[in-house]
């Protein structure tokens, strides 16, 4: 019997996964414990991803954050912000935004809303979600109208 060769141009239908809609790091990255430790882990992970995926050193990230903020940010500040043991140094909000801008670690943006049970989504999905909510509302209104019409007919 002849063996079947797979066509390299044909996509594997079973390998498809839906696109990630929400933005954020997994619970494995954030971990447990105190809030300041979670934030340090996120900063550390963003810096690690920037190094591994984009080849950005901490010094380069610090330079990019400095340029973004218009004030100096040093590599040692990044080291302190990313250390769970450095209790006296927390990343300020503007520097956190600068970190996301400098590293491209948009996943970090999901952390704060996630603490409140909310999710950050890609902007391209916002209209789709609103459209679905409107569709569901229209169905509720139609069902209510049908119930009222049935009640009216039953009284005749």
Q: Look up residue 19 and give its DSSP letter.
A: P
What kind and span of H or E run contains 22?
strand 22-23
Residues 56 and 129 in one domain: no
Residues 75, 51: contact at Cβ < 8 Å? no
- Rounded-to-integer distance, Cα 155 and Cα 117, Å: 46
Whether residue 43 has pLDDT greater than 90: yes
Q: Which residue has the tokens 């391209």?
A: 124
For 2-18, give one letter per residue: b (16+ CB within 10 A) or e: eeeeeeeeeeeeeeeee
Separation in Å, CA 119 to CA 22, 94, 100: 6, 21, 17
pLDDT tier at 115, thresholds 50, 70, 90: confident
pTM, two decimals, is: 0.73
Whether residue 110 has pLDDT greater than 60: yes
Q: What is the structure's pLDDT at 65?
A: 97
Residues 136 and 64 in one domain: no
In a domain, 117, yes or no: yes
3-state secondary structure at position 79: helix
Residues 60 and 76 in one domain: yes
Residues 51 and 104 in one domain: yes
In a domain, 90, yes or no: yes
């Amino acid at each position: 019997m002849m063996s079947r060769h797979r066509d390299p141009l044909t996509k594997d239908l079973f390998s498809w996964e839906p696109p990630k809609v929400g933005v954020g790091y997994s619970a494995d990255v954030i971990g447990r414990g105190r809030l300041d430790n979670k934030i340090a882990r996120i900063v550390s992970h963003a810096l690690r991803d920037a190094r591994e995926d984009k080849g950005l050193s901490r010094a380069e990230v610090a330079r990019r954050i400095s340029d973004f903020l218009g004030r100096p940010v040093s590599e040692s500040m990044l080291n302190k912000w990313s250390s769970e043991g450095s209790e006296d140094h927390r990343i300020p909000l503007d520097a956190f935004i600068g970190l996301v801008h400098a590293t491209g670690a948009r996943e970090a943006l999901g952390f704060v809303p996630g603490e409140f049970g909310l999710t950050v989504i890609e902007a391209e999905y916002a209209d789709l979600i609103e459209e679905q909510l409107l569709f569901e509302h229209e169905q509720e209104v139609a069902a209510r109208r049908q119930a009222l019409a049935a009640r009216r007919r039953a009284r005749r």
